[in-house]
């Protein structure tokens, strides 16, 4: 039982959405549920490949399936995207308020300088 060389894709949502085609699938499903062949047609990918990606998404809980006749209708289940959102959201300041924050720091320094002079 050697050490795992890599975290399995099937393990968490972070890995699942690291694959561009899987994001594409989720994007399609965000507009509404769809049977596999629909996705195949839109994506222009071989059906087995699409099924495999759907499997990964299913295993991390990002999509749900429903049987309708001989079709399998997939639908988005965004619940497991929330952890990703929460994680990146914490970094929002690092891009949107990057310079603002720098300004804040400078402002603070100026204040301290001012107080020193008051002494």
* Binding footprint of its own copies on the chain (CB under 8 A): 7, 14-15, 17-20, 23, 26, 30, 76-79, 81-82, 84-85, 87-96, 98
Residue 67: CB partners within 8 Å, gap ≥ 6?
A: 73
Q: Which of residues 32-71 bind DNA (CB under 7 A)?
A: 35-37, 40, 45-56, 65, 67, 69-71
Q: Is 3 in the site for DNA (CB under 7 A)?
A: yes
Query: Quick one: which segment of 6-14, 25-33, 84-92, 93-101 binds DNA (CB under 7 A)?
Result: 6-14
How many residues contact DNA, by CB under 7 A? 37
Using the Cα atoms of residue 54, residue 60, residue 62 and residue 68 in order, give the sign of their dihedral: positive
- How far, in Å, CA of 44 to CA of 21, rounded? 11
- How far, in Å, CA of 25 to CA of 78, rounded? 13
């Amino acid at each position: 039982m050697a050490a795992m060389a890599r975290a399995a894709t099937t393990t968490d949502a972070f890995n699942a959405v690291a694959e561009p085609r899987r994001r594409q699938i989720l994007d399609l499903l965000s507009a509404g549920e769809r049977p596999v062949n629909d996705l195949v047609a839109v994506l222009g990918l071989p059906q087995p490949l699409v099924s495999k990606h759907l499997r990964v998404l299913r295993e991390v809980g990002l999509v749900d399936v429903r049987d309708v006749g001989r079709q399998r209708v997939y639908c988005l289940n965004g619940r497991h995207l929330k952890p990703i959102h929460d994680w990146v959201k914490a970094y929002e300041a690092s891009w949107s308020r990057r310079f603002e924050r720098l300004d804040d720091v400078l402002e603070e320094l100026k204040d301290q300088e001012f107080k020193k002079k008051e002494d």
